[in-house]
Amino acid sequence: MTQLNPRRALLSVARNLNCFLPTTAITSVLRQQNVNRLVTGLFCSLAFVISGVVAEGQQVVTNGRFTNVYVYQPTFAGESWDDHLKAARSQGDQFSREKIDAFTDTLMGPDASSYFDFLHQYWGVNEPQFFGSGFATADCVSAALHDGKNLGNNITLIQWDTVRSLANCHPSGLDPSPQVTLIFSPDIKVANIPNPPIGTAGDMCTTSPDKAWHAWGLNMPNFIALPTDPNCSPTFDNFTINFSHEIVETLTDPGGFGQGGVLTDPTNVGGNEIGDKCKNQSIKWGSYSLQQYWSNNTNACEPRVLRPPTSSAERDWLDTSGIPLQRFKGNQRDLPIKVYPANVGSPAKSLRMIISTGNDNLRGDGDNCDVTINLSDGRTISLPNVNQGQTWDNWTTHSFDVPIPATGVKGGDITEITLHTVKGGFDLTKSPDNWNVQRVQLKATLGSARIPTPRSLPSTTVTVTVNQVGSRIAMGPRIPGMPASSAVYGMIRINGSEFEKSPLSQSMLYDLGTIPIQIEVWQDLPDVRGSGNPRDPNNPGGRGVHNAKATLRTLNIDYNLKTHTFTVRGESGSAMPGKAGVEFAFPGDSTHPGIAFTITDQPGTR
């Protein structure tokens, strides 16, 4: 729900002027002229402000760029967010920075695009990006708490306008991302917003049905107020539902002029946005729960089917962020980052580094970025000019491969990574470049300690398991014409498109590339006689059918034995429903999002 809308306050002023002006008695021409000038000036000023509000409150956010900002006041010096949450609420360990960031990163990662697919209908909204997280500065938090109301027991209630100020509280040059999620510790209570936004309100979590809200203001980021108070989020599932609700509404109605705003719902601005229409309707996505949202195209709450999050073959060896992590300026040209051991002893087959900029770009053209990677044995990997002289724009993410030395790199070998900004040559026409780094990541794809890799395909079994759907048992595949141990239900569903190799597997398939697999799925049909049903594809003419088996579709699969991923090539469509209850869907587009089998690598021998 959009809870902050300066436009409402302005309209309220306009209404008051409307009510006042007709009742004003004008007794002289001079007074009339003076009042007219005053009124004209007031309305011109009002129109100017409204035009600015409309310009700032964009209709939608087509390319969202989010950061998480954690807001808390340590109980003692050095207390971390994680320790603070453990002491402040039950299940506090579930609300660690790592877990909240992992959810946000997964939600806004490339494998989550199906969740945001239905947003594109609203003026071209795309999947957002996550640029990491950081903490509100101590000065900003202290100022916010000073403005708040002390409720006793170290609990403070802060009003909506204080939250708005907090969203844009930052030192000079360290501007926040265009979209900000303010995540409040349980001891900082967040008030709901009065409508119109004048005066004060009570604690949102205990005095209203709302559990979070999103807002905006002039010359500041779109922001979300997201409490971790148990009254708003008794569990982490509730938290992720509230979070995803506000994300989709921030994208589609950031300032009251988008879907659910003044243009589409003028009688209930901000109170009937796409998340509000599907309130209390959620969907499981792997281990996470997400809010469904309204789709005009399907006239329903979407998504109804989601691909589970996939487990990447890459491992995180470094993931650090800040708001920003570093501002390069003046003589401050180096950013050393400590790398803690991970996957110790496991050899890396490949390394990839990712650098995300913040609110100031890297100019390039002489002002470039060098990277030095230090290893525990004294070796270094030098990567000069990783931006290749190109400009890295504000709020962009850049990935590049890291060459592995001939002697190899194992988990735990890398101890430090340093980013160094190279000053451009002497040029009177340009000043030295300042730029912000928001997030730095290092990802490793691991090899195997087992050797050697066989040259020929080893003896192994690839099994396709069809999940049970409905009341009948699902099995498959099996050889056409052979008796079935039990009936095959007509609808199948794939649970994911990527999976881990079983740790018990000895088949050593990790380096053998891609093999083609063809799978036929069919259904045992009951005996049929009678006049027939023209909609039944298995009995179009009403002829008697005995011991029939109907092949529904053929799937052609490219299965990568190295990465344990697969792609499916086949028809996108559904079989007509017949007397056997045939209902079959293939992947391919948003109309057929289901997908139907799991491939597992069975233990074998070399």
C-alpha torsion angle, residues 601, 562, 111, 124 (rounded to 10): -130
Do residue 207 and residue 327 come from a single domain? no
CA dist., res. 314 & res. 348, Å (int): 10
CA dist., res. 317 & res. 335, Å (int): 17
State which of 398, 413, 446 marks the end of a domain: 446
Please name which of 216, 71, 222 lies closest in space to residue 142, comparing C-alpha atoms. Answer: 71
In a domain, 97, yes or no: yes
Total residue count of the chain as it appears in this document: 606
State which of 426, 446, 466 marks the end of a domain: 446
Q: How confident is the chain (606 residues) per 10-residue block, as mean pLDDT?
A: 42 32 31 46 44 57 97 96 97 96 92 84 95 96 96 94 94 90 98 87 95 92 98 98 98 94 89 94 93 96 85 89 94 95 92 96 93 96 94 96 92 97 69 92 79 34 36 35 38 31 35 48 46 48 43 51 52 30 28 34 33
Do residue 461 and residue 387 come from a single domain? no
Per the structure block, which two tokens stand in for 377? 């044995």
Predicted pLDDT of residue 267: 87
In a domain, 141, yes or no: yes
Could you tell me the residue range of the domain that residue 144 belongs to?
A: 65-270
Per the structure block, which two tokens stand in for 209? 């049905």
CA dist., res. 342 & res. 319, Å (int): 12
* Long-range CB contacts (within 8 A, 24+) of 102-111: 103/240, 103/243, 103/288, 104/66, 104/68, 104/130, 104/133, 104/181, 104/243, 105/130, 106/286, 106/288, 106/309, 107/244, 107/247, 107/288, 107/290, 108/66, 111/307, 111/309, 111/310
62, burial (CB in 10 Å: exposed 0-12, middle 13-18, buried 19+): middle
CATH value at residue 401: 2.60.60.20
Do residue 377 and residue 512 come from a single domain? no
Do residue 120 and residue 232 come from a single domain? yes
In a domain, 258, yes or no: yes
Do residue 228 and residue 354 come from a single domain? no
Look at the chain and report how many structural domains it folds into: 3
Quote the distance between the C-alpha of residue 407 and its chain's center. Answer: 38
* Radius of gyration of the chain measured on its C-alpha atoms: 30
> Residues 251, 254, 257, CA angle at the centre, nearest 5°?
115
In a domain, 8, yes or no: no
Other CB atoms within a 10 A radius of the CB of residue 180 amount to 23
In a domain, 59, yes or no: no
**Whether the model pTM is above 0.85:** no
Do residue 262 and residue 113 come from a single domain? yes
Predicted pLDDT of residue 473: 34
List Cβ neighbours of 295 (8 Å cut-off, separation of 6 or more).
118, 121, 274, 301, 302
In a domain, 331, yes or no: yes
Do residue 428 and residue 464 come from a single domain? no
Do residue 561 and residue 603 come from a single domain? yes
In a domain, 577, yes or no: yes
Predicted pLDDT of residue 88: 96
Per the structure block, which two tokens stand in for 340? 């803690």
Predicted pLDDT of residue 271: 87
State which of 412, 446, 480 marks the end of a domain: 446
Dihedral sign for Cα 103, 106, 107, 108, please: positive
Q: What is the DSSP letter of 556?
A: E
CA dist., res. 196 & res. 190, Å (int): 17
Helix and strand totals (H; E) in the chain: 9, 27
Do residue 150 and residue 211 come from a single domain? yes
> What 3-state DSSP class applies to 59?
coil
Please name which of 228, 248, 233 lies closest in space to residue 185, comparing C-alpha atoms. Answer: 228
Do residue 191 and residue 259 come from a single domain? yes
In a domain, 5, yes or no: no
Do residue 328 and residue 468 come from a single domain? no
Quote the distance between the C-alpha of residue 87 and its chain's center. Answer: 28
Predicted pLDDT of residue 121: 95
User: Measured in Å, how far apart are the chain's first and last C-alpha atoms?
Assistant: 59
CA dist., res. 313 & res. 511, Å (int): 13
Predicted pLDDT of residue 313: 82
Do residue 110 and residue 243 come from a single domain? yes
